[in-house]
Amino acid sequence: MLLLFEQFLNGLQFGITLFLLSAGLTLVFGIMQVINLAHGSFYMIGAYVGAAVTAATGSFLLGLLAALPAAGLFGMAVEWLVLRHLYQRDHLDQVLATFGLIMFCNELVRIIWGRQPLFMDVPPWLAGNVEIVDGLLYPVYRLAVIATGLAVALLLWFLFTRTRLGMQIRAGASNREMVAALGVDISLLYTLVFGLGALLAGLAGVMAGPILAVESGMGESILILTFVVIVIGGIGSIKGAVIGALLVGLVDTLGRAFLPVLFRLLFASATADAAAASLSSMAIYILMATVLIWRPRGLCPVQSA
Amino acid sequence: MTRRLLTLLAGALFFALLPLFATFFGEPYLISLFTRILIYALAAVSLDLLLGYGGLISLGHAAYLGIGAYVVGILHQHQSEGMPLLSWPILVQGSDNALLVWPAAVLVAAFFALAIGALCLRTRGMHFIMITLAFAQMLYFFFLSLEKYGGDDGLSLYARNRLPGIDLGDSLHFYYVCLALLALFLLLAIRLSRSRFGLVLQGARENDRRAKMLGINTYWYKLACFVLAGGGAGLAGALLANQTEFVSPGLLHWTMSGELMVMVLLGGLGSLYGPVAGAAVFLLLEEGLAMYTEHWMVYMGPILVLVVIFAKRGLFGAIAGTARAE
Amino acid sequence: MKILRVTSLQKAYGAVEATRNLSLAVEAGHIHALIGPNGAGKTTLVNQLTGDILPDGGTIQFHGHDITRLKPWRRARLGLARSYQITSIFPQLTVAENFALAILAGHRHNFRFWRPALSAHRVRELLPEALARFDLNASAGRPAGHLSHGEKRQLEVGMTLVGKPRLLILDEPMAGMGPGGTVELTKMIRQLQGKLTILLVEHDMKVVFNLADMVTVLVNGENIATGPPDEIRANPLVRTAYLGEEN
């Protein structure tokens, strides 16, 4: 039972990281109708800048403060230099150009920081474990990640439902022409949304730093999971991103933790291990396929005009 | 004689005579490099059927390449161990015979394309791109966790497949086999693009709603295209496994799908011959840049971005002119 | 004989009822006009007839089949053709290929991978006639996207007719046409009169009263009157609800 609860928290923490990535990306997809493979690069840049500044200054907070604007500004630069020219093109061009950007970014961090992964320490004030319930020690840092993620989700909810900018962004997701007709500076709005998305990805990157290795290409493995989240949630829907991210985070973590145990009860151990390993690595894709058969446009499809 | 025909003849002549030059100038390495180019060209042409004719942006084409390669690898392993692959419900033995193994690679890849395509084609646009990518990644993880067949270390082949009368182990023989298969597939693809099937497919790409309103159920045509392209990639995978005598999950990785897409774009979308040029340019550029710097991708990336923004027709289009008169 | 019979059709978008308990019957061989002010639900109705959207309730019967829930391509196979408000062609294919596609569309046997499409038996038989009839001989080899607006319109209508449909739905065919084009198209529609059934959705009153055998007036998603043109013109309900607004 305790193990289940612990794995549940791990899944929640993973889901929240995924949410930070998918929230920005789903907006970019929904509003600009542009597919961006380079979103994972913002995550990676956030992680690298965070790790480097933390290592240089010894302060995790400074690392965080450097990483957020770095990822955000880099995102805006990418929008301004490359994607802006591709809004009217078909998705294939967008895929190819952003694939080129990934190649560039991955190699660039290798040139600057070398091929060896960087490791980031958990800051002392977030180190250690805390006893949540009787007998379950859980790392403080992971709890902090969950809390930060929830705070960001709340902040986004406030931004989108309570502010003018948020309403413009939501309106843009369902009807672009209408927003333009209302006299909103669309290209500025696009750049801002893009920057916001990149900043959130950067935040996810820094927070993942002490948990995972910071290395070139780290953005892509998580990018594909982010795609799965968006496909499950529905393009352009923040609510869908929340649901999708939590589903994927939980299914992946719980699958990896418990499928082997479950299979050992059913089959001989050698077969069980092999089958469980295959199945748990494919679990979220099977989840995606199921959602797809049932609702091809995702759980929370955005009505677009 | 048109410029287009001249370009094609020059290209065909170049590929046919290349081994002679390579041997003459004592650079046998070139034969193996160009064999690789031919194989990737085959995969790129199959992807062009999807991208250029079907308008279906699949970002998971490497999956079928990988499946084709694994069919060769797995059958080879069972052959050398003398253990049957399947004993129930039918007996399936391992094999090294190219006449059995390669068609099997095509069929298995096509079968996976059928299953995955049937699901993916329920969606369109960005959904389609992301889902094809996700399914390819799923297969990548599947092979990664397949310890019986090497897991992430991959599978080594002790020898290439056997083909009666031809020594596939000989680089020259193997080169011409690849060239012949590429030529055959190109011929098939070109005929296909002008056939009734090809016309319907292009209609569905141009204006799906209109095609439906004319009474065409476009879904099946797109699915057939997806399956054909998957089979083509499967054949390329089988050849690749033979060339490198090694199979690994890396073949299914999504960067491979991206690179195949880049080859199609560099060569010119929807031109079928173009991707052959695209594959050559991409691999030569990679070789060339890699000679000067280990960080070749830092140059390749921006080149790609610039090509996308400025050169829409691709190389083949720039050299040979567009197929359709203005 | 009624070729199309719509019974108690319902379609709502949230609180907005776009089609309200709508019934309508079209006599075979007639030109049946559908008029109504903007937002009356004409396009919503047409989209339900062609299967682009599905109704919430009611039935649609076409040529003896219940087509209420059939896919668009199945309806097309039964002989229901539609020409679009915004010209809908295959811009990168040549004019000949556009026609060939329309000619081959009704056949199940298009999984032919080897022989060129343009040399298919049916295409060779019907293509020259189609090109001549719609005055597009000179442009046969050009990409359809390069045609002039009028030519595109002709191609569009031509593609719809070449499949020999039983019922042709013309959705505002005069939209965006100059006076000359309107006259041409009116002439063409008149030539078709009696050969097939036409459901004509049109804004231009002159055209409607000129051509139609029967007129249906749609207001707020409801069929408020159906009858011959003269009767509709005289109907006081129609005058206040619709014609009054126009003048």
Give the pLDDT of chain A (305 residues) as one tens digit per residue: 778 888 888 899 999 999 999 988 888 888 788 889 999 999 999 999 999 999 899 888 899 999 999 999 999 999 999 988 888 888 888 999 999 999 999 999 999 998 888 888 888 888 788 877 777 788 888 888 899 999 998 888 888 888 888 887 777 766 666 677 777 777 788 888 889 999 999 999 998 888 888 888 888 888 989 999 998 998 888 888 999 999 999 999 998 888 888 888 877 777 777 778 778 888 888 888 888 888 888 888 876 43
Closest residue on chain B to C87 (Cα): B210
Residues 6+ apart with CB under 8 A from C29: C194, C196, C197
Asked if A288 has any chain B CB less than 8 Å from its own CB, the reply is: yes
Segment C14-29 mean pLDDT: 89
Q: Which residue from A minimizes the CA distance to B118?
A: A293
**Residue B85: what pLDDT?**
82
Chosen from C70, C71, C73 to mutate, greatest number of chain B CBs within 10 A? C73
- How near does any CA of chain B get to the CA of C145, in Å? 11
Beta carbons of C157 and C186 less than 8 angstroms apart = no
Quote the ipTM score: 0.87
Q: Give the pLDDT of residue B186.
A: 94
Rounded-to-integer distance, Cα A237 and Cα B2, Å: 52
**pLDDT score, position C247:** 42
- pLDDT band at residue C244 using 50, 70 and 90 as cut-offs: low
Averaged pLDDT score across all residues of chain B:
88
CB within 8 Å: A108 and B138 = no
Nearest to A282 among B138, B261, B304 (CB): B138
C84 pLDDT above the threshold of 80: no
Give the confidence band of B326 by pLDDT, cuts at 50, 70, 90. very low
Show which subunits contact C, needing at least 3 CB pairs below 8 angstroms. B
- Mark yes or no for CB contact B199/C101 under 8 Å: yes
Say which of B195, B209, B212 has its CB closest to residue C112.
B195
Which of A285-289, B71-75, B148-152, C112-116 shows the lowest per-residue confidence on average (mean pLDDT)?
C112-116
Interchain contact A107–B (C-beta under 8 A): yes
Helix/strand/coil for C27: strand
The answer, yes or no, to whether residue B322 has pLDDT greater than 60, is no
- Does B148 sit within 8 Å of A285, measured CB to CB? no
Query: How many Å lie between the alpha carbon of A120 and the closest alpha carbon of chain B?
Result: 25
Whether C90 contacts chain B with CB within 8 A: yes
Rounded-to-integer distance, Cα B165 and Cα C57, Å: 69
Contact between B217 and C71 using a beta-carbon 8 Å cutoff = yes
With CB atoms and an 8 Å threshold, state whether B207 touches C90: yes
**Spatial strand order in the sheet of C214-219:** C80-83, C167-171, C197-201, C31-35, C214-219, C222-227
Give the distance from residue A164's alpha carbon to the nearest chain B alpha carbon, in angstroms: 28
Cα separation of C196 and C204, whole Å? Answer: 22
Of all residues in chain B, the percent with pLDDT exceeding 90 is 47
Residue B81 has pLDDT above 50, yes or no: yes
Yes or no, beta carbons of B262 and A96 under 8 Å apart:
yes
Q: Which member of B145, B298, B302 has the closest CB to residue A281?
A: B145
pLDDT at B48 over 60: yes
Which of A:166-195 have CB within 8 Å of B?
A: none
Angle, alpha carbons B168-B170-B173 (nearest 5°): 65
Q: What pLDDT sits at residue C39?
A: 79
pLDDT of B69 strictly over 80? yes
Q: Which CATH number fits domain C1-79+165-247: 3.30.1490.20, 3.40.50.300, 3.40.109.10, 3.30.420.40?
A: 3.40.50.300
- Compare B119 and A187 and report the one with higher pLDDT: B119
Determine the Cα angle at A235 with ends A71 and B260, to 5°.
75
Question: How far B31 CA sits from the closest chain A CA (Å)?
Answer: 28
Q: Mutate which of A44, A80, A221, A224 to disrupt the B interface (most B C-beta within 10 Å)?
A: A224
In the predicted model, what is the mean pLDDT of residues B145-169? Answer: 87
Q: Of A43-52, B147-156, C171-180, where does the model show the most confidence? A: A43-52
What pLDDT sits at residue A190? 84
* Distances B321 to B129, B312, B316 between C-alpha atoms, Å: 29, 12, 7
Query: Do the chains contact at A95 and B119, CB–CB below 8 Å?
Result: no
pLDDT confidence of residue B315:
66
In this prediction, residue C41 carries a pLDDT of: 87
pTM: 0.87
Which position has the higher pLDDT, A248 or C108?
A248
- pLDDT band with cut points at 50, 70 and 90 for residue B263: very high
Maximum mean pLDDT: which of A148-152, B105-109, C211-215: B105-109
**Start-end of CATH 3.40.50.300 domains in chain C:** 1-79+165-247
pLDDT at C204 over 80: no
Can you tell me whether residue C9 is helix, strand or coil?
Answer: strand
- Give the burial class of C21: count Cβ atoms within 10 A of its Cβ; 0-12 exposed, 13-18 middle, 19 or more buried: middle
Which of A92, A110, A285 comes nearest B138 by C-beta? Answer: A285
Structure-token pair, residue B87? 């004993």
Residue contacts between A and B (CB atoms, under 8 Å)? 129
- Chain-wide mean pLDDT for chain C? 85
More confident residue, C40 or B109: B109
**Residue B285 contacts A, CB cutoff 8 Å:** no
